[in-house]
Chains A and B, each alone.
Chain A
Amino acid sequence: MKTDAISGSQIEEESLPERPKLLWVDDEPHILELAKRAVREEPFDFVGTTDLDIARKMIRAGEPSVLVADQVLKKGTGIELLEYAKAVSPATSRIILTGKMTDELVEEAINRASVFRFITKPWDQEELLRDLDLAFLHRQNTVERYRLLQKIRQQNTRLEELNLNLEKIVYARTHKEELSKRNSEATLQNLRGTLRFINDLSLADSVEEILYRLSRDFRKFSSVGSPILGFLDAENRGVLYYLQGKQATEKRVTTQWKEALEPRSHSEEDRQYLANVLGRPLAQLLVFPLKSPQQTFVFGSAVLFIEHALPAEDLEELKHFLAQRIQPLSLALDRVLMENYLKLTSYRWAKTFDDFTDPIAIVDSQFSVDRSNRSFQKFMKKARCFERFADRDSPCPGCPLIQDFSSPSVLLRQIKVKDRSFQLTSYPIFLPGQTIPSNRVNYYSETTDKNRLQQQLIQNEKMSAVGLLAGNIAHELNNPLTGLRSLTQVLLTEVQAGTQLHGDLLEVEKGVQRCEEIIKSLLNFSQIGPSESMGETDLGELVESTLPFLKSATRDHSTKTLLGNKPLFVRVEYNIMQQVIFNLINNACQAMEEPGELTLSLTSESGLAHLKIKDTGPGIGEEHLQHVFDPFYTTKEEGQGTGLGLSMSRSAVESFGGTIEVETELGQGTTFIIKLPLVEK
């Protein structure tokens, strides 16, 4: 809030009327009617007019405390009218009403007419009332400040006259009354000091600054500590402000100081209270209540504590000194606290609104966005909701505003914005006495189901990509492998059995055979190649038969196998299930960088076989956990893994009607649990 420059002739000396007046200037009689209804329960009188001449006359007479003008007027603009009001009745709080807020308008309204608030049409009832309340409060404060400045100016004039007279008198009586002159000089000095202080305070815009100026003013007293300011904040909690060196300290207190209606000194209670709060012993205390003629924010309990060690007569001087300053001090504190409170509340509101991660917008029947939060505004500059939110040229399909804007009930719809789906909840807003909503608040929540489906879709797409790729790779590999194996078989016939070379060739042939097996299972996973038939198998026996292939992986670790004696039959494809177990055990062993313990346990629980593969590795971090089953997701070094093992294992187990779960604890290890439906034998 900026104070207008004051020139002597424009100061208002009028006393506030019983009920202050709101003047509303608008070309549209129905807007005036709406506004009148909106404020009918407020403690001020409403005057609405479409006539600019009447409006100017009232403004000239200083009648309205608050002036609202529509920007679009038949003769001229709202800003022009407000500019006029600023010139002839500066204390009137000025508000501009506009259907469309633009940067240019804001700039012009502030620069030319120092407007206090902007109200956009259609307005929000609660917001309108709050803005108007603040405008009246602003008016009161402005008037009060003017009054004070006026007083200062009058005092100043009087002082100058006094000074002039004094000097004349002094000149005449110099030789007779030296003492009198010195007294007068002292009085003059004192008054000038007060004036400077008041001027200083009018510039302060923080509690800290007020305190700093106050303490500077105290310097002339020795044995007086720096002042401590106590007041209640907007939440009615006690706050103490004091300077430590040049640093201002803010201390929140839980217990309240004793209320002071009149200045008091030498109160043991006050001394104990402050000593407890500040944690140090104190000298004598002078407690001075702050009083504002327009009590708004500084209530009765605001006080100034002054620590001192003054003798009685000097204490009187200090009291006198303070009494002169207490009113401007109160006013300044009042103003600063109110400004801070306003800034804070508007900031909080905006922040709360913005911090909703779901998009929210307040819109009118023409899809114009009145307010929206950050999550909503992808395209800030656009005026309409579908432009701003969905980057479209027409309303989103399924939007309830298209047909049901006037519905008085809360509407629930599904709308699609690009490839995202939202559940839209649309709440109507009514002006008082209206049955048709003036605006609607639209709340968009992204449907979690959809999110999950989308995840699933991505997963499936990845899987089919993997399948395709795996199929292609498998075919490419099959050809050379066929040649390799056959050629080895030819060589085997040409080498004498029992020789080293013959043994080597046998190994090569076996190796190639294993490669072919792997490719076959890869093809099975991608479901391109021929599928092995499902069969009933004892899962324990299957695990046992897989272990020999894992000798090199498990070599460094101790392995505990708790497979039980009772066979547990499941319906799986034997080779593939072996591959799954091979993958999981191999992973577990690779996870354990240090020699650890691998535990394989098989149990039967409510119709399911539970196979647990537990390692004592470092565990899986949360950021990796949700991806462990993603194809090509690997944390292993290049060449160590393809990132396919777990994802293929999962789809395989799922194709057998089972699940794979993972439990992990950082630093403790990871357990993969395969659950497969048991088959009765």
Chain B
Amino acid sequence: MKVLIVDDEPLVRRALSRAFEASGHEIRQAASGEEALRVWQEFAPDVVLLDVIMPGLTGPQVLEEVTDPRATVILMSAFSGDQEVHTGEGARAKHFLAKPFTDIFAVVKLVEGLTIAE
């Protein structure tokens, strides 16, 4: 499974990358919304883990730009209230992951479960 991880926090990117790699997935990272758009096109990920709040383009803004409908998008944010807003308006993101994660491997399992179900 090809996973694109978009987050401006290097520690978060690294942790997610390591966890997904450990479970045998192919990983690409992006540190901003702009970078995410470039990588998305060239990498064509199955799953995108997308941070909501980033300097420059935000997660939802990135989703408006994306033309590839294939990937499963999971928004991540520390604002619990963001969930309804972002999963509601853009049909692109169906899933929401609240930060902080209590268990990173539970996150990996969750994401794997989501993609299998679709």
Contact = CB atoms under 8 A, between A and B. Distances in A.
A533 interface: no
Most chain A C-beta atoms within 10 Å of own C-beta, residue among B11, B14, B100:
B100
A615 B18 CA distance: 49
Interface string A477-515: 011111111110110011000000000000000000000
A486 B19 contact: yes
Contacts of B107: 486
A479 B99 contact: yes
B12 interface: yes
B90 interface: no
A229 B29 CA distance: 104
A266 B116 CA distance: 131
Contacts of B18: 487, 490
A475 B77 CA distance: 10
A516 interface: yes
Q: Is the interface of A mostly helix, strand, loop or mixed?
A: helix
A530 interface: yes
A529 B78 CA distance: 9
Contacts of A478: 78, 99-100
B41 interface: no
Interface in B19-61: 19, 22
B84 interface: no
Interface in B70-118: 78-80, 99-101, 103-105, 107
A483 B15 contact: yes
Contacts of A530: 80
Contact of A490 (B9, B15, B79): B15
Contacts of A481: 100
Contact of A479 (B12, B16, B103, B105): B12
A485 B101 contact: yes
A489 B11 contact: no
A478 B43 CA distance: 29
Most chain A C-beta atoms within 10 Å of own C-beta, residue among B9, B10, B101, B105:
B9
Nearest to A529: B80
Interface residues of B, number: 21
Contact of B12 (A475, A482, A494, A516): A482
Contacts of A485: 15, 100-101, 104
B37 to A, nearest CB: 21
Contacts of B79: 475
Contacts of A493: 22, 105
A277 to B, nearest CB: 88
B14 A482 contact: no
Contacts of B101: 482, 485-486
A494 B19 CA distance: 10
A487 B18 CA distance: 8
B11 A490 contact: no
Q: Is the interface of B mostly helix, strand, loop or mixed?
A: helix
A38 B23 CA distance: 107
Contact of B100 (A482, A487, A490, A494): A482
Contacts of A483: 9-15
B8 to A, nearest CB: 8
Contacts of B12: 479-480, 482-483, 486
A536 to B, nearest CB: 26
A481 B78 CA distance: 11
A489 B78 contact: no
Contacts of B80: 529-530
Nearest to B105: A489
A162 B111 CA distance: 135
A490 B10 CA distance: 15
B22 A480 contact: no
B16 A486 contact: yes
A485 B16 CA distance: 11
A479 B103 CA distance: 15
Contacts of B10: 483
B98 to A, nearest CB: 10
A504 B85 CA distance: 40
Nearest to B21: A490
Contact of B103 (A487, A489, A494, A516): A489
Nearest to B20: A490
Given A486-B16, A490-B22, A480 B103 contact: no
Contacts of A475: 78-79
A482 B99 contact: yes
Contacts of B11: 479-480, 482-484, 486-487
A486 B22 CA distance: 13
A510 B102 CA distance: 11
Interface in A59-84: none
Contacts of A529: 80
A530 B99 CA distance: 13
Nearest to B99: A482
A486 B19 CA distance: 8
Given A479-B99, A493-B22, A486 B78 contact: no
Contacts of B19: 486, 489-490
B16 to A, nearest CB: 7
Contacts of A490: 15, 18-19, 22, 104
Contacts of B105: 489, 493
Contacts of B16: 486
A131 B100 CA distance: 84
Nearest to B8: A479
Given A480-B12, A486-B104, A487-B104, 13 more contacts: A479-B9, A482-B9, A482-B11, A482-B12, A482-B101, A483-B14, A485-B104, A487-B14, A487-B15, A493-B22, A493-B105, A516-B100, A529-B80
Interface of A: 475, 478-487, 489-490, 493-494, 516, 529-530
12 contacts: A478-B99, A480-B11, A482-B9, A482-B100, A483-B11, A483-B12, A483-B14, A484-B15, A486-B15, A486-B16, A487-B104, A494-B22
Nearest 9 A/B pairs, CB to CB: A483-B11, A486-B15, A486-B104, A487-B15, A482-B100, A483-B12, A490-B18, A479-B9, A489-B104
